[in-house]
Amino acid sequence: MLKKIAFLFLFLSVVGCNSRSLTDRGLVTEKAMVVTAHPLASEVGAEILRRGGNAMDAAVAVQFALAVVYPDAGNIGGGGFLVLRQQDGSIDALDYRERAPAAAHRDMYLDKNGKVLENLSFKGHLAAGVPGTVDGMVQAHAKYGSLPWQELVQPAIELAANGFALTQKEAKKLNQQRKDFIKYNPVKPTFILRDKWHEGDTLYLKHLAQTLTRIRDKGRAGFYEGTTADMLVAEMKRGGGIISYEDLKAYQSVWRAPLTATLRDYKVITMPPPSSGGVALVQLLTLAEDYPLKIWGWNSLQAAHFMIEAERRVYADRAKHLGDPAYYKVPLQALLDSAYIKSRMKDFSESEATDSDAVSAGIPAPAESPNTTHYSIVDPQGNAVSVTTTLNSSFGAKVFVAGAGFLLNNEMNDFSIKPGYPNTYGLVGGEANAIAPGKRMLSSMTPTILEKEGELYMVVGSMGGSTIITTVYQIILNVTAHGHSMQGAINAGRFHHQWKPDWVLTEWGAVGGVTGLRLWLKGHKLVPKTGGIGRAAGILVLPDGKLEGGADPRGDDAAAGF
């Protein structure tokens, strides 16, 4: 009883009214917009557009710039997903997700009794998947770029070589990671040269500048072969990792048909598997079609209750049915069938929360055939690119490739390392997402583009592990159902449910105190999430054709454009 009362107090102190405006506009520009997690990266992207580059050119330049100025998630040692809509309406998606090394196997993080070896998939050399970013950028540029490759990598080289000032948030994060950087790096990285970083300190990343120079001059071979590959493989040997020369050589990113769905006036263009994000987002938005969210109102008891219940069911499907389609027969068409999706709510009760143990994955009808960061870009021609890229958790595996100056991802933790065993985001899975050599681990990243009545309308995405999907979902509804501005939709407090664990993570201001109490009485276990849920970057096309950038106030995020 005492525990319940203490929890209620804690809860009431965290939920409250949202003080950030939901309707004030973010930066509004005439022609072009870049929104990223760091002002310097946004400026790099905007400058490429000013020079006449297109949205894909800017996306490539931003990816490399983020690897320098936002090393907790920006990367060349990780991977990501990119969704493109060209001004003529044609669409494409690039999967540059990491892959399990060839020496990986299903039980590699279990001891001989089948017990999970904590941390092995999360920190240190064995946690790293084969990086996909550099190949992804090379392919993106080859297919859609217009400026010379060298010009797109150069700004990142300059930032790394000439140094850049740390923001207060970045300095704090580097200090927090110091112990892990020491523990997991046999060779001392630049990031621990000082005992303590402060806002405004200049960070020079000389080795990273040299690696980026090799990438600038040799393209793919500057990373997957030669000096960089030698350094990466040597690092693996030093720290007990398993990525080999063959793994690096074999890495290929994949162009995929984007997942699309038409819902009311909107067409959603998003990422297919191996991301779960697109499938889950389409399921959530399809369910929302049948409920009067606009009438209920943002932040209302009914809307929050319905959304939580929809999320519970959608994440149950995610856990069972989704994985790398090259290794597991994902019942994609069946999962996206609107009759199937809607059938999932048949046991929905308006009065009380469903117990997650009573909700299992649905059985879709068989198909006929078988610390992440997001940036959004629109160029003056109207081409749009939506990219989510990651090392997985903040600073990935905490391992630097000595001499090459970049961090490795800890994406192996996104696999289901044992059936039903939760990963760092509490997500569970089974066969569909079991480890296999060369397989891509399931992701929640949801880079998305929306059309309204056939025209470009929104470019959006977020970081946040499992909360990415519900963050993107809420932002889209905030604009389309509740009329928030792009900035307001991103400012708004968020909540998140993922089936298991059976609780609702709740940001400050996501629901008012009274609504929170009434949700609690319906049986929803609200848990305050003080660190925030997700960090999004969005661009909205306004009725007069201007662009509104939405930069997330939870970070140093910034919009830039003209």
490's tokens: 């991103």
CA count, 13 A, side-chain hemisphere, 520: 20
Q: Does 516 bind ligand DON (CB under 6 A)?
A: no
Helix (H) or strand (E) holding 262: strand 259-263
Q: Does 287 bind ligand DON (CB under 6 A)?
A: no
Q: Does 66 bind ligand DON (CB under 6 A)?
A: no
d(CA 224, CA 503): 43
d(CA 340, CA 367): 11
Q: How far is the CB of 304 from ligand DON (least distance, A)?
A: 23
Under DSSP, the state recorded for 380 is: T
Q: Which window, 101-109, 297-305, 387-395, 453-461, contacts ligand DON (CB under 6 A)?
A: 387-395
Q: Does 464 bind ligand DON (CB under 6 A)?
A: yes
Q: Does 515 bind ligand DON (CB under 6 A)?
A: no
Which residue in 286, 390, 478, 487 binds ligand DON (CB under 6 A)? 390
d(CA 461, CA 389): 10
* Phi (first) and psi of residue 276, to 5 degrees: -90, -10
CA count, 13 A, side-chain hemisphere, 349: 10
Q: Does 491 bind ligand DON (CB under 6 A)?
A: no
Which residue in 43, 95, 414, 507 binds ligand DON (CB under 6 A)? 414
Which residue in 392, 433, 474, 498 binds ligand DON (CB under 6 A)? 392
Contact 181, 189 (CB under 8 A): yes
Which residues fall within 8 angstroms of residue 228, CB to CB, at 6 or more apart? 211, 214, 215, 222, 401, 404
Which residue in 286, 443, 470, 498 binds ligand DON (CB under 6 A)? 443
d(CA 479, CA 268): 14
Q: Does 44 bind ligand DON (CB under 6 A)?
A: no
Q: Does 444 bind ligand DON (CB under 6 A)?
A: yes
Nearer to ligand DON, 78 or 512 (CB): 78
Residues 317-376 touching ligand DON, rule: CB under 6 A, are: 371-372
Which segments within 393-518 are labelled E, that is strand?
448-452, 455-463, 495-496, 504-506
355's tokens: 């117990």
Spot the catalytic one: 133, 167, 211, 372. Answer: 372
Q: What is the dihedral of CA 154, 141, 277, 119, to 10 degrees?
A: -50
Nearer to ligand DON, 82 or 463 (CB): 463
Q: How far is the CB of 221 from ligand DON (least distance, A)?
A: 27
Q: Does 463 bind ligand DON (CB under 6 A)?
A: yes
Q: How far is the CB of 448 from ligand DON (least distance, A)?
A: 14
Assess whether 372 carries a catalytic annotation: yes
d(CA 409, CA 75): 9
Which residue in 65, 166, 445, 526 binds ligand DON (CB under 6 A)? 445
Q: Does 94 bind ligand DON (CB under 6 A)?
A: no
Neighbours of 218 (CB within 10 A): 15
Nearer to ligand DON, 371 or 515 (CB): 371
Q: Which residues bind ligand DON (CB under 6 A)?
A: 371-372, 390, 392-393, 411, 414, 443-445, 463-465, 468
Catalytic amino acids?
Answer: 372
